[in-house]
Amino acid sequence: MKFGVVVFPGSNCDRDMYDALKDDLNQDVTMLWHKDKDLSRFDTGDCIILPGGFSYGDYLRCGAIARFSPMMQSVIEFANAGGKVFGVCNGFQILCESHLLPGALLRNGNQQFVCKNVFITNDSGRAYKIPVAHGEGRYYANEKTLDELEANEQVIFYYCDEIGHITPDANPNGAIRNIAGICNSTRNVFGMMPHPERACSPELGNTDGQEIIRTLLMVEQLVY
């Protein structure tokens, strides 16, 4: 399996993701410049990653300009053909702006930038400790979309407390229904606000992110 990490002007987590994949997970990974279009070395068993940061300075809306970069046109085609695409933080915002994932990321409910460790969980019930760092991470969608996401098991992570309980107090940004990450209906496009790549190294005292990346991206299909 090969990985490509897209670099936009203003990306600041591209190298974190590259190092996590290459050094901590021993994967074949390449940096991809946003003005390029060529994804010919990747097939649908591979994965393109949109990293965190502040693409184009977050002007207009977070991810709104990056969505029109030449590389994103190829990424959209890649996703529509069944290739895996993973967006983290700003990457999640870009995926929503590109309509590869439903909903939007709004300004945090407390109107402040949030940078800290939080806990997230899925149907396994385990609480993963993963960092967040964002000012516009409050997931929002209309009630119909939210009901469909949950009915189809497309919510891949919820904010929770340290023992896995999904509570309002564990929600760092006011995300509706405590949603921290979602996938598309065909389960090949994934987005989340927390940063698993920042929790992959024993030197950082946390390797919970390794399991998240392996579970989402290194299996044939997301299974619950």
Residues marked active site are found at 89, 195, 197
**pLDDT tens across the length of the chain (224 residues):** 999 999 999 999 999 999 999 999 999 999 999 999 999 999 999 999 999 998 888 777 888 899 999 999 999 999 999 999 999 999 999 999 999 999 999 999 999 999 999 999 998 899 999 999 999 999 999 999 999 999 999 999 999 999 999 999 999 999 999 999 999 999 999 999 999 999 999 998 999 999 999 998 875 444 43
Q: Check: CATH 3.40.50.880 for 2-217?
A: yes
**What's the confidence (pLDDT) of residue 58?**
79
Output the pLDDT for position 60. Answer: 78
Angle ∠(131,171,91) on CA atoms, nearest 5: 50
